[in-house]
Amino acid sequence: MNKSLAFVLLALIVVACDALPTATTPSPEAPTAFLSTPLPTTIATPVRLPTAIITPSLAPPTPSPINTALKKTQAAQTYRANLQLNVKSASAPPFALNLKGEVAQGNSHYAYQLGAEQIELTVLNGQYFVKGARALGLPSATKWYIVTPDLADAARAPFTPEDILDDFIAQAGNAKYQTSARESLDGQSCQVWQSAPKTFAETGISALLGGGLDTSPFGILDQAEVKLWLCDDGLAHQLSVNVDAHNARRANEKGSAQLILRLQDFGNAAIKISAPPGAEQFKIRAPTP
Protein backbone atom coordinates (compact mmCIF):
# COMPACT_ATOMS: atom_id res chain seq x y z
CA MET A 1 0.00 0.00 0.00
CA ASN A 2 2.90 2.36 0.75
CA LYS A 3 4.29 1.60 -2.70
CA SER A 4 0.95 2.49 -4.30
CA LEU A 5 0.85 5.83 -2.50
CA ALA A 6 4.39 6.57 -3.50
CA PHE A 7 3.56 5.83 -7.11
CA VAL A 8 0.57 8.14 -7.06
CA LEU A 9 2.64 10.97 -5.60
CA LEU A 10 5.31 10.44 -8.21
CA ALA A 11 2.72 10.58 -10.96
CA LEU A 12 1.30 13.89 -9.63
CA ILE A 13 4.79 15.38 -9.53
CA VAL A 14 5.41 14.43 -13.17
CA VAL A 15 2.08 15.94 -14.26
CA ALA A 16 2.79 19.13 -12.35
CA CYS A 17 6.19 19.47 -13.95
CA ASP A 18 4.68 19.13 -17.42
CA ALA A 19 2.20 21.93 -16.66
CA LEU A 20 4.91 24.54 -15.80
CA PRO A 21 5.78 27.00 -18.71
CA THR A 22 8.97 26.41 -20.57
CA ALA A 23 11.59 29.15 -19.87
CA THR A 24 12.30 31.41 -22.90
CA THR A 25 15.89 32.22 -23.69
CA PRO A 26 16.16 36.00 -24.31
CA SER A 27 17.45 37.04 -27.75
CA PRO A 28 20.49 39.28 -27.74
CA GLU A 29 19.82 43.07 -28.27
CA ALA A 30 20.67 44.59 -31.61
CA PRO A 31 23.91 46.54 -31.51
CA THR A 32 23.57 50.37 -31.32
CA ALA A 33 24.42 52.01 -34.66
CA PHE A 34 26.98 54.87 -34.47
CA LEU A 35 27.26 57.58 -37.19
CA SER A 36 30.57 57.45 -38.92
CA THR A 37 30.22 61.17 -40.07
CA PRO A 38 30.43 63.61 -37.16
CA LEU A 39 27.76 66.32 -36.84
CA PRO A 40 28.93 69.77 -37.92
CA THR A 41 30.15 71.88 -35.08
CA THR A 42 30.32 75.23 -37.02
CA ILE A 43 27.62 77.68 -35.92
CA ALA A 44 26.53 80.19 -38.59
CA THR A 45 27.30 83.79 -37.65
CA PRO A 46 24.03 85.77 -37.51
CA VAL A 47 23.77 88.61 -40.04
CA ARG A 48 22.94 91.99 -38.48
CA LEU A 49 20.30 93.78 -40.45
CA PRO A 50 20.88 97.52 -40.94
CA THR A 51 18.97 99.68 -38.55
CA ALA A 52 16.56 101.96 -40.36
CA ILE A 53 17.31 105.60 -39.64
CA ILE A 54 14.15 107.59 -39.36
CA THR A 55 14.68 111.25 -40.18
CA PRO A 56 12.14 113.37 -38.37
CA SER A 57 10.12 115.54 -40.72
CA LEU A 58 10.76 119.21 -40.07
CA ALA A 59 7.97 121.71 -40.20
CA PRO A 60 8.42 124.30 -42.97
CA PRO A 61 9.83 127.59 -41.74
CA THR A 62 7.29 130.18 -40.76
CA PRO A 63 7.10 132.83 -43.47
CA SER A 64 8.23 136.31 -42.50
CA PRO A 65 5.23 138.60 -41.91
CA ILE A 66 7.03 141.21 -44.00
CA ASN A 67 7.53 138.91 -46.99
CA THR A 68 3.97 137.67 -46.68
CA ALA A 69 2.57 141.21 -46.69
CA LEU A 70 4.82 142.34 -49.55
CA LYS A 71 3.85 139.37 -51.71
CA LYS A 72 0.17 139.96 -51.00
CA THR A 73 0.56 143.64 -51.87
CA GLN A 74 2.43 142.76 -55.05
CA ALA A 75 -0.47 140.53 -56.12
CA ALA A 76 -3.12 143.21 -55.54
CA GLN A 77 -5.12 144.02 -58.67
CA THR A 78 -6.90 147.24 -57.68
CA TYR A 79 -5.55 150.18 -55.63
CA ARG A 80 -4.51 153.83 -55.65
CA ALA A 81 -0.84 154.82 -55.52
CA ASN A 82 1.29 157.84 -54.69
CA LEU A 83 5.05 157.89 -55.22
CA GLN A 84 7.56 160.59 -54.28
CA LEU A 85 11.25 160.24 -55.02
CA ASN A 86 13.92 162.90 -54.47
CA VAL A 87 17.58 162.32 -55.32
CA LYS A 88 20.44 164.76 -54.75
CA SER A 89 24.13 164.47 -55.49
CA ALA A 90 27.11 166.72 -56.01
CA SER A 91 27.66 165.45 -59.55
CA ALA A 92 24.18 165.87 -61.06
CA PRO A 93 21.13 168.14 -60.91
CA PRO A 94 18.48 167.20 -58.33
CA PHE A 95 15.96 164.62 -59.52
CA ALA A 96 12.35 164.75 -58.33
CA LEU A 97 9.47 162.49 -59.31
CA ASN A 98 5.90 162.96 -58.06
CA LEU A 99 3.45 160.37 -59.33
CA LYS A 100 -0.10 159.38 -58.48
CA GLY A 101 -2.67 157.17 -60.12
CA GLU A 102 -4.86 154.10 -60.03
CA VAL A 103 -4.63 150.46 -61.03
CA ALA A 104 -7.66 148.29 -61.76
CA GLN A 105 -7.51 144.71 -62.99
CA GLY A 106 -4.50 145.11 -65.27
CA ASN A 107 -5.40 148.58 -66.50
CA SER A 108 -3.84 151.76 -65.13
CA HIS A 109 -3.81 155.54 -65.16
CA TYR A 110 -0.83 157.52 -63.88
CA ALA A 111 -0.12 161.24 -63.82
CA TYR A 112 3.34 162.44 -62.94
CA GLN A 113 5.49 165.53 -63.02
CA LEU A 114 9.05 165.26 -64.22
CA GLY A 115 10.87 168.57 -64.29
CA ALA A 116 8.56 171.17 -65.78
CA GLU A 117 6.47 168.66 -67.73
CA GLN A 118 3.18 167.13 -66.57
CA ILE A 119 2.45 163.80 -68.25
CA GLU A 120 -0.50 161.39 -68.07
CA LEU A 121 -0.58 157.83 -69.35
CA THR A 122 -3.62 155.55 -69.45
CA VAL A 123 -3.36 151.87 -70.35
CA LEU A 124 -6.71 150.24 -71.13
CA ASN A 125 -7.14 146.79 -72.64
CA GLY A 126 -3.98 147.04 -74.73
CA GLN A 127 -4.55 150.62 -75.86
CA TYR A 128 -2.32 153.52 -74.81
CA PHE A 129 -3.43 157.10 -74.25
CA VAL A 130 -0.96 159.93 -73.58
CA LYS A 131 -1.34 163.59 -72.70
CA GLY A 132 1.27 166.27 -72.12
CA ALA A 133 4.38 164.58 -73.46
CA ARG A 134 5.50 167.41 -75.73
CA ALA A 135 9.00 165.94 -75.89
CA LEU A 136 7.51 163.08 -77.92
CA GLY A 137 6.24 165.48 -80.54
CA LEU A 138 2.58 165.54 -79.50
CA PRO A 139 0.89 168.57 -81.09
CA SER A 140 -0.88 169.73 -77.93
CA ALA A 141 -0.09 169.43 -74.23
CA THR A 142 -3.79 169.55 -73.29
CA LYS A 143 -5.22 166.86 -75.59
CA TRP A 144 -5.23 163.08 -75.28
CA TYR A 145 -3.65 161.00 -78.03
CA ILE A 146 -3.82 157.30 -78.83
CA VAL A 147 -0.23 156.18 -79.33
CA THR A 148 1.74 153.07 -80.23
CA PRO A 149 3.33 150.86 -77.53
CA ASP A 150 6.77 152.29 -78.37
CA LEU A 151 5.63 155.86 -77.76
CA ALA A 152 3.79 154.76 -74.63
CA ASP A 153 7.02 153.29 -73.25
CA ALA A 154 8.77 156.59 -73.91
CA ALA A 155 5.98 158.44 -72.08
CA ARG A 156 6.00 156.09 -69.11
CA ALA A 157 7.35 157.35 -65.79
CA PRO A 158 10.98 156.36 -65.07
CA PHE A 159 9.75 154.39 -62.06
CA THR A 160 6.25 153.19 -61.25
CA PRO A 161 4.93 151.91 -57.91
CA GLU A 162 5.03 148.40 -59.37
CA ASP A 163 8.71 148.82 -60.29
CA ILE A 164 9.59 150.07 -56.81
CA LEU A 165 7.69 147.25 -55.11
CA ASP A 166 9.17 144.54 -57.35
CA ASP A 167 12.73 145.79 -56.80
CA PHE A 168 12.20 146.15 -53.07
CA ILE A 169 10.91 142.58 -52.70
CA ALA A 170 13.77 141.19 -54.80
CA GLN A 171 16.49 143.09 -52.94
CA ALA A 172 15.33 143.83 -49.41
CA GLY A 173 12.71 141.20 -48.66
CA ASN A 174 15.05 139.29 -46.32
CA ALA A 175 16.57 142.25 -44.49
CA LYS A 176 16.33 142.28 -40.70
CA TYR A 177 13.44 144.31 -39.33
CA GLN A 178 12.16 145.09 -35.88
CA THR A 179 8.79 146.37 -34.82
CA SER A 180 8.30 149.99 -33.92
CA ALA A 181 5.15 151.91 -32.96
CA ARG A 182 1.67 151.28 -34.33
CA GLU A 183 0.09 153.99 -36.47
CA SER A 184 -3.22 154.52 -38.22
CA LEU A 185 -3.37 154.64 -42.02
CA ASP A 186 -6.48 154.56 -44.21
CA GLY A 187 -8.65 153.90 -41.18
CA GLN A 188 -6.63 150.83 -40.15
CA SER A 189 -4.19 150.05 -37.39
CA CYS A 190 -0.76 149.41 -38.88
CA GLN A 191 2.41 147.93 -37.43
CA VAL A 192 5.51 149.90 -38.35
CA TRP A 193 8.58 147.76 -39.11
CA GLN A 194 11.98 149.42 -39.18
CA SER A 195 15.36 148.40 -40.57
CA ALA A 196 18.84 149.95 -40.62
CA PRO A 197 20.38 148.47 -43.81
CA LYS A 198 24.08 147.68 -43.82
CA THR A 199 24.28 147.16 -47.58
CA PHE A 200 22.73 148.91 -50.55
CA ALA A 201 20.82 145.76 -51.48
CA GLU A 202 18.97 145.89 -48.15
CA THR A 203 17.66 149.39 -48.95
CA GLY A 204 15.57 147.93 -51.76
CA ILE A 205 16.37 150.81 -54.13
CA SER A 206 19.97 149.98 -55.00
CA ALA A 207 19.22 149.34 -58.68
CA LEU A 208 17.29 152.60 -58.89
CA LEU A 209 20.19 154.65 -57.50
CA GLY A 210 23.10 152.77 -59.04
CA GLY A 211 24.18 151.74 -55.57
CA GLY A 212 27.61 150.16 -55.22
CA LEU A 213 29.03 151.50 -58.49
CA ASP A 214 32.47 153.08 -58.18
CA THR A 215 31.51 156.08 -60.30
CA SER A 216 28.22 156.73 -58.51
CA PRO A 217 27.66 159.14 -55.61
CA PHE A 218 25.92 156.10 -54.10
CA GLY A 219 29.02 153.92 -54.30
CA ILE A 220 29.38 153.42 -50.53
CA LEU A 221 26.50 153.44 -48.10
CA ASP A 222 26.93 155.75 -45.11
CA GLN A 223 23.58 155.22 -43.42
CA ALA A 224 20.04 154.24 -44.33
CA GLU A 225 16.63 153.71 -42.80
CA VAL A 226 13.72 151.68 -44.15
CA LYS A 227 10.20 151.69 -42.75
CA LEU A 228 7.22 149.54 -43.68
CA TRP A 229 3.63 150.05 -42.58
CA LEU A 230 1.88 146.65 -42.51
CA CYS A 231 -1.80 147.07 -41.74
CA ASP A 232 -4.51 144.83 -40.34
CA ASP A 233 -5.67 143.82 -43.83
CA GLY A 234 -2.29 142.09 -44.30
CA LEU A 235 -1.08 144.60 -46.91
CA ALA A 236 1.77 147.10 -47.03
CA HIS A 237 0.19 150.56 -47.13
CA GLN A 238 3.38 152.60 -47.02
CA LEU A 239 7.11 152.27 -47.63
CA SER A 240 9.77 154.87 -46.90
CA VAL A 241 13.49 154.71 -47.64
CA ASN A 242 16.17 157.26 -46.70
CA VAL A 243 19.73 156.84 -47.93
CA ASP A 244 23.00 158.77 -47.43
CA ALA A 245 26.08 157.69 -49.36
CA HIS A 246 29.26 158.86 -51.07
CA ASN A 247 31.42 158.14 -54.08
CA ALA A 248 33.87 155.27 -53.56
CA ARG A 249 36.69 157.22 -55.23
CA ARG A 250 35.83 160.74 -54.09
CA ALA A 251 34.59 160.74 -50.52
CA ASN A 252 33.44 164.37 -50.71
CA GLU A 253 31.01 163.54 -53.50
CA LYS A 254 27.87 162.84 -51.49
CA GLY A 255 24.50 161.45 -52.50
CA SER A 256 21.14 161.31 -50.73
CA ALA A 257 17.74 159.90 -51.62
CA GLN A 258 14.29 159.89 -50.05
CA LEU A 259 11.44 157.70 -51.27
CA ILE A 260 7.86 157.42 -50.05
CA LEU A 261 5.43 154.96 -51.65
CA ARG A 262 1.81 155.04 -50.48
CA LEU A 263 -0.74 152.39 -51.54
CA GLN A 264 -4.39 152.49 -50.52
CA ASP A 265 -8.00 151.65 -51.44
CA PHE A 266 -7.10 148.04 -52.15
CA GLY A 267 -9.91 146.19 -53.92
CA ASN A 268 -12.11 149.28 -54.16
CA ALA A 269 -14.72 148.55 -56.84
CA ALA A 270 -15.19 152.29 -57.39
CA ILE A 271 -11.76 152.49 -59.06
CA LYS A 272 -12.40 152.40 -62.80
CA ILE A 273 -10.05 152.98 -65.71
CA SER A 274 -11.80 154.46 -68.74
CA ALA A 275 -10.74 155.80 -72.11
CA PRO A 276 -10.14 159.56 -72.10
CA PRO A 277 -12.89 161.36 -74.03
CA GLY A 278 -11.96 162.95 -77.31
CA ALA A 279 -8.67 161.07 -77.71
CA GLU A 280 -7.16 161.36 -81.19
CA GLN A 281 -5.00 158.89 -83.03
CA PHE A 282 -1.45 160.23 -83.08
CA LYS A 283 0.47 159.82 -86.30
CA ILE A 284 4.15 160.50 -86.58
CA ARG A 285 4.71 162.99 -89.34
CA ALA A 286 7.28 162.05 -91.92
CA PRO A 287 10.07 164.61 -92.14
CA THR A 288 9.74 167.05 -94.99
CA PRO A 289 12.40 166.35 -97.62
Q: Could you give the domains of the chain?
A: 72-264 (2.50.20)
Whether the CB-CB separation of 129 and 151 falls below 8 Å is answered with no
Looking at residue 62, what is its pLDDT?
55
Please determine, for residue 25, whether its predicted confidence score (pLDDT) is greater than 70.
no
CA dist., res. 255 & res. 247, Å (int): 8
What is the per-residue burial (b if ≥16 Cβ within 10 Å, else e) of 212-251? beeebbbbbbeebebbbbbbeeebbbbbbbebebbbbeee
CA dist., res. 96 & res. 258, Å (int): 10
β-bridge partners, 172: none
Per-residue pLDDT band at 83 (split at 50, 70, 90): very high
Helix (H) or strand (E) holding 98: strand 92-104
Per-residue pLDDT band at 285 (split at 50, 70, 90): low
Please determine, for residue 278, whether its predicted confidence score (pLDDT) is greater than 90.
yes
CA dist., res. 85 & res. 177, Å (int): 22
Cβ-based neighbours of 97, under 8 Å, separated by 6 or more = 83, 84, 85, 86, 112, 113, 114, 157, 158, 159
CA dist., res. 9 & res. 5, Å (int): 6
CA dist., res. 149 & res. 26, Å (int): 127
Region of poorest pLDDT, from 8-17, 113-122, 215-224: 8-17
What's the predicted TM-score (pTM) here?
A: 0.75
Per-residue pLDDT band at 233 (split at 50, 70, 90): very high
